[in-house]
Structure 1
Amino acid sequence: MVDQDRIIKINIEEEMKSAYIDYSMSVIVSRALPDVRDGFKPVHRRVLFGMNELGNTSDKPYKKSARIVGEVLGKYHPHGDSSVYYAMVRMAQPWSLRYPLVDGQGNFGSVDGDSPAAMRYTEARLSKLAEEMLRDIEKDTVDMQLNFDDTLKEPAVLPTRIPNLLINGASGIAVGMATNMPPHNMTEVIDGTIAYIDNRGEVTIEDLMNYVKAPDFPTGGTIYGYAGVKSAFETGRGRVVLRGKAEIEHENNHEKIIITEIPYLVNKAELIKYIADLVSDKRIDGISNVNDESDRQGMRIVVDVKKDANSSVVLNKLYKLTALQSSFSVNNIALVNGRPRMLNLKDLIGQFVNHRKDVVTRRTKFELRKAEERAHILEGLIIASDNIDEVISIIKTSQSPNEAIERLIARFALSEIQSRAIVDMRLRQLTGLEQDKLRAEYEEIEKLINHLREILENEDLLMKVIKDELVEIKEKFGDERKTEIIYASEELNPEDFYADDEMIITISHMGYIKRTPLSEFRAQNRGGVGVKGSETRDEDFVEYIYPASMHATLLIFTQKGKCYWLRVFEIPEGTRTSKGRAIQNLLNIDADDKVSAFIRIKNLTTDIEFINSHYLLFCTKRGVIKKTLLEAYSRPRANGVNAIELREGDEVIQVRMTNGNNEVLIANRNGRAIRFHESTVRVMGRTATGVRGMMLDDENDEVVGMICIKDKENETILVVSEQGYGKRSKIDDYRITNRGGKGVKTINITEKTGKLVDIKNVTDDNDLMIINKSGMTIRMKVADLGIKGRATQGVRLINLDKRNDEIASVCKVMSDPAVEDTITEECTEVENDAENVENESFDNDIVILEEEQDEDNEEPLTTEE
Structure 2
Amino acid sequence: MTRATDDPTGTSDEKILNVDVSTEMQDSFLEYAYSVIYSRALPDARDGLKPVQRRILYMMSEMGLRPEKGHVKSARVVGEVMGKLHPHGDTAIYDALVRLAQSWTMRIPLIDGHGNFGSPDDGPAAARYTEARLDAVALLMVDQLDEDVVDFVPNYDNQLTQPDVLPAAIPNLLVNGASGIAVGMATNMAPHNLIEVVAGARYLIEHPNATLDDLMAFIPGPDLPGGGTIVGLAGIRDAYETGRGAFKTRAKVSIETLGPRKTGLVVTELPYLVGPEKVIAKIKDGVTAKKIQGISDVTDLTDRMNGLRLVIGIKTGFDPEAVLEQLYKLTPLEDGFSINNVALVDGGPHTLGLRDLLIVYVNHRIEVVTRRTAYRLARRRERLHLVEGLLIAILDIDEVIQVIRASDDTDQARTRLIDVFELSVLQADYILELRLRRLTKFSRIELEAERDKLREEIAQLEALLGDPALIRKAVSDELDEVAEKHGTPRRTLLTEARPSLAGASKRAQPVLEVADAPCTVYLSTTGRVVRVDREETEELRADGLTAPVVASRRSKHDAIRSEVVTTRRSEIGAVTDTGRLIRMPVLDLPAVPANSVQLGAGVKAGDYLSLDAKREKVVGLVSLDSTVPIALGTAQGIVKRIAPGAYPARPDFEVIALKTGDAVVGVAQHSEEDELVFITSDAQLLRFFQASVRPQGVAAGGMAGINLGAGASVIWFGSVPDTGDAVVVTIAASTSTLAGADVGTGKVSEFTEFPPKGRATGGVRAHRFLKGEDTLTVAWAGPAPALAVGHDGAARTLPESGARRDASGVGLSGVVGSVGAARRS
Same fold by TM-score, threshold 0.5 exceeded? yes
- 2:510 paired residue number: 497
- 1:610 paired residue number: 542
2:215 is the alignment partner of 1:215 = no
- 1:777 paired residue number: none
- 2:394 paired residue number: 385
**Residue from 60, 67, 70 that aligns with 2:76:** 67
Q: Distance in 2 between matches of 1:608 and 1:486?
A: 23
2:324 is the alignment partner of 1:311 = no
CA-CA distance at 1:202 after TM superposition? 0.7
- 2:790 paired residue number: none
- 2:213 paired residue number: 206
Moved more, 404-413 or 317-326: 404-413
**Residue from 47, 59, 64 that aligns with 1:50:** 59
2:221 is the alignment partner of 1:289 = no
- 2:231 paired residue number: 224
Question: How does 1:23-172 map onto structure 2 within 5 Å?
Answer: 23-111=32-120, 113-172=121-180
Partner-residue secondary structure (3-state), 1:270: helix
- 1:561 paired residue number: none
- 2:243 paired residue number: 236
Give yes or no for contact 2:119–2:275 (8 Å, CA) kept in 1: no
Question: How does 1:359-438 map onto structure 2 within 5 Å?
Answer: 359-438=368-447
Q: Distance in 2 between matches of 1:145 and 1:436?
A: 44
Question: How does 1:510-589 map onto structure 2 within 5 Å?
Answer: none
Q: Which amino acid is the alignment partner of residue 287 of structure 1?
A: I
Give yes or no for contact 2:148–2:372 (8 Å, CA) kept in 1: yes
Deviations 1:357-406 (A, max 9, x none): 11111111111111111111111101111111111222223333332222
1:501–1:134 distance in 2 versus 1, CA, 3 Å: closer
2:253 is the alignment partner of 1:321 = no
2:455 is the alignment partner of 1:468 = no
Question: How does 1:638-649 map onto structure 2 within 5 Å?
Answer: none
Q: Which amino acid is the alignment partner of residue 486 of structure 1?
A: T
Give yes or no for contact 1:56–1:125 (8 Å, CA) kept in 2: yes
Deviations 1:631-675 (A, max 9, x none): xxxxxxxxxxxxxxxxxxxxxxxxxxxxxxxxxxxxxxxxxxxxx
Partner-residue secondary structure (3-state), 2:18: coil
CA-CA distance at 1:77 after TM superposition? 0.5
**Residue from 239, 243, 246 that aligns with 2:253:** 246
Give yes or no for contact 1:226–1:488 (8 Å, CA) kept in 2: no
Structure with larger RCO (C-alpha < 8 A, sep 6+): 1
Give yes or no for contact 2:325–2:500 (8 Å, CA) kept in 1: no
- 1:187 paired residue number: 195
1:21–1:604 distance in 2 versus 1, CA, 3 Å: same
Give yes or no for contact 1:192–1:208 (8 Å, CA) kept in 2: yes
Give yes or no for contact 1:226–1:489 (8 Å, CA) kept in 2: no
Give yes or no for contact 1:222–1:484 (8 Å, CA) kept in 2: yes
Q: Distance in 2 between matches of 1:79 and 1:301?
A: 40
CA-CA distance at 1:106 after TM superposition? 1.0
Question: How does 1:264-283 map onto structure 2 within 5 Å?
Answer: 264-283=272-291
Give yes or no for contact 2:244–2:341 (8 Å, CA) kept in 1: yes
Give yes or no for contact 2:228–2:269 (8 Å, CA) kept in 1: yes
Q: Distance in 1 between matches of 2:15 and 2:537?
A: 79
Give yes or no for contact 1:257–1:304 (8 Å, CA) kept in 2: yes
Q: Distance in 2 between matches of 1:82 and 1:29?
A: 19
- 1:258 paired residue number: 266
Q: Distance in 2 between matches of 1:35 and 1:227?
A: 27
Q: Distance in 2 between matches of 1:446 and 1:164?
A: 36
Give yes or no for contact 1:171–1:179 (8 Å, CA) kept in 2: yes
- 2:344 paired residue number: 335
Q: Which amino acid is the alignment partner of residue 221 of structure 1?
A: G
Q: Which amino acid is the alignment partner of residue 495 of structure 2?
A: I
1:604–1:85 distance in 2 versus 1, CA, 3 Å: closer
Deviations 1:480-516 (A, max 9, x none): 00101112434548799324568xxxxxxxxxxxxxx
Partner-residue secondary structure (3-state), 2:52: helix
Q: Which amino acid is the alignment partner of residue 478 of structure 2?
A: E
Partner-residue secondary structure (3-state), 1:368: helix
Give yes or no for contact 2:319–2:513 (8 Å, CA) kept in 1: no
Partner-residue secondary structure (3-state), 2:101: coil
1:606–1:336 distance in 2 versus 1, CA, 3 Å: farther
1:304–1:41 distance in 2 versus 1, CA, 3 Å: same
Deviations 1:308-364 (A, max 9, x none): 111111111111100100011000010000111010000000000010111111111
CA-CA distance at 1:458 after TM superposition? 0.3
Q: Which amino acid is the alignment partner of residue 439 of structure 1?
A: E
Give yes or no for contact 2:322–2:513 (8 Å, CA) kept in 1: no
1:604–1:381 distance in 2 versus 1, CA, 3 Å: closer
Q: Distance in 2 between matches of 1:479 and 1:174?
A: 32
Q: Which amino acid is the alignment partner of residue 141 of structure 2?
A: M
Give yes or no for contact 1:167–1:184 (8 Å, CA) kept in 2: yes
Q: Distance in 1 between matches of 2:500 and 2:281?
A: 25
Give yes or no for contact 1:499–1:550 (8 Å, CA) kept in 2: no
Root-mean-square deviation (CA), in Å?
2.3
Q: Which amino acid is the alignment partner of residue 28 of structure 1?
A: I
Q: Distance in 2 between matches of 1:295 and 1:23?
A: 45
- 1:15 paired residue number: 24
Point out where structure 1 has 5 or more consecutive residues left out of the alignment. 503-548, 552-601, 615-865
CA-CA distance at 1:613 after TM superposition? 9.7
Give yes or no for contact 2:323–2:512 (8 Å, CA) kept in 1: no
- 2:638 paired residue number: none
Give yes or no for contact 1:316–1:496 (8 Å, CA) kept in 2: no
Partner-residue secondary structure (3-state), 1:150: coil
Give yes or no for contact 1:604–1:611 (8 Å, CA) kept in 2: no
Q: Which amino acid is the alignment partner of residue 398 of structure 1?
A: S
Give yes or no for contact 1:409–1:416 (8 Å, CA) kept in 2: yes
Q: Distance in 1 between matches of 2:86 and 2:537?
A: 61
Identity %: 46
1:613–1:76 distance in 2 versus 1, CA, 3 Å: closer
Partner-residue secondary structure (3-state), 1:91: helix
